[in-house]
Amino acid sequence: MTVPLIDPFQRPISYLRVSVTDRCDFRCVYCMSENMTFLPKKELLTLEELDRMCSTFVRLGVEKLRITGGEPLVRREIMTFFRSMTRHLESGALKELTLTTNGSQLERFADDLYAAGVRRVNISLDTLDEEKFADITRWGRLPQVLRGIDAAQKAGLRVKINTVALKGFNEDELVTLTEWCASRDMDLTWIEVMPMGDIGNEDRLGQYWKLDDLRQSYAQQYTLSDLPENTGGPARYVRLEETGQKIGFITPLTHNFCESCNRVRLTCTGELFMCLGQEDNADLRGALRNHPGNDAPLEEAIRGAIRLKPKGHDFDYSRQSVDGRVSRHMSHTGG
Ligand code: SAM
Ligand code: SF4
């Protein structure tokens, strides 16, 4: 029997997030600079290598795969990869195959994703105002994303909206966004902006909207009940009695969530990051490419990496400077 992946702090690793590309059709101001240099194609894991990599993790006990990026749906032939993961859902080894997307390509792919076994998607959307949307994403257009959301729901996918909480930008849309999500039976999760990557001149402390403050704003408008749910990640949830909807708060900076962390992240070049907030990583691509047809070295490299998973991250805004800053972009590790 395969020994499951357990890290040095006795946390079982059952969740893998995979970035399948560093490219994107948007340039969100908190995520990328306008002129990004992307990786040459040969650096990327091929779709076959992604399959081998993910299948190995599944064999070692990973039950949930989240595909992300960059924008996962701009990777060429990405549906081939999704379809290749269907066999793990059918065997029961994989419990969930899901993705995080900006929604721009969903009109094209929602039905195929459902057919491949995807049942839920997280769609990132920070504003319902067309002009503000174009400002924050630089290259994105709101109507295209709204059509993508329609297509996803029509295909039968459950949609959760992820919104980055940005001071002075979408503070005034708290109720609008909440009611819009409620009217479409979508949950909503707010994410605190994290200090990742060089993104030009943006002032991160200026962007930082503490989710404790946001929670208080909710409490002024709605009756909140805390939900005990713990997904092993940084999200905490409340239910709004008035709308019945679930609101999530991802607060990696305000609260430490590391004690129950069950996840690791694979980049599109095959580096495994054991913690979103640390630079430590392990190269799995070598173990994969140098041993075609033999997964034993890859399994050993994965086990070795998990043994190095740190206890937690060091992001800290409390001293009014951005400490614990990580130089890579979110699009590299996958959000
Ligand atoms: N392109 C897809 C999307 O936007 O959903 C997937 C990748 S994106 C990097 C994943 C998530 O990370 C998005 O919800 C995005 O808003 C979030 N994100 C990107 N940069 C961030 C940052 N610096 N702080 C907090 N969240 C960030
Ligand atoms: Fe692209 Fe997502 Fe980053 Fe926006 S947040 S630039 S959509 S990867």
3-state secondary structure 218-236: HHHHCCEEEECCCCCCCEE
Q: Is 260 exposed, middle or buried (0-12, 13-18, 19+ CB in 10 A)?
A: exposed
Q: What is the pTM of this model?
A: 0.92
CATH number, domain at 288? Answer: 3.20.20.70
Task: Please report the pLDDT score of residue 319 as a whole number.
Answer: 38
Domain-located, residue 146: yes
Of residues 320 and 291, more confidently modeled: 291
Of residues 118 and 30, more confidently modeled: 118
Domain-located, residue 9: no
Q: List Cβ neighbours of 234 (8 Å cut-off, separation of 6 or more).
A: 250, 251, 252, 255, 257
Q: Whose CA is nearest to atom 4 of ligand 1?
A: 102
Helix (H) or strand (E) holding 161: strand 158-165
pLDDT tens digits for range 63-72: 999 999 999 9
Residue 25 CA, closest ligand 2 atom number: 1
Task: Please report the pLDDT score of residue 10 as a whole number.
Answer: 85
Domain-located, residue 7: no
Domain-located, residue 38: yes
Domain-located, residue 4: no
Residue 331 CA, closest ligand 1 atom number: 9
CB 16, CB 57: distance < 8 Å: yes
Task: Please report the pLDDT score of residue 196 as a whole number.
Answer: 59
Q: Give the pLDDT band of residue 320 (cuts 50, 70, 90).
A: very low
Is 262 touching ligand 1 by the criterion CB < 6 Å? Answer: no
227 lies in which domain range? Answer: 15-333
Cα separations in angstroms, 225 against 178, 189, 247: 16, 15, 10
Domain-located, residue 196: yes
C-alpha dihedral over 316, 317, 318, 319, to 10 degrees? 100
Do the annotations mark residue 331 as ligand-binding? no
Q: What is the CA radius of gyration of the chain?
A: 19
Task: Please report the pLDDT score of residue 318 as a whole number.
Answer: 44
Domain-located, residue 6: no
Q: Give the chain's domain count.
A: 1
Q: Give the pLDDT band of residue 214 (cuts 50, 70, 90).
A: very high
Domain-located, residue 159: yes
User: With 80 as the cut, is the pLDDT of residue 207 above it?
Assistant: no
Average pLDDT, the chain: 88
User: With 70 as the cut, is the pLDDT of residue 127 above it?
Assistant: yes
Helical pair 142-155 and 106-115, crossing angle rounded to 10 deg? 20
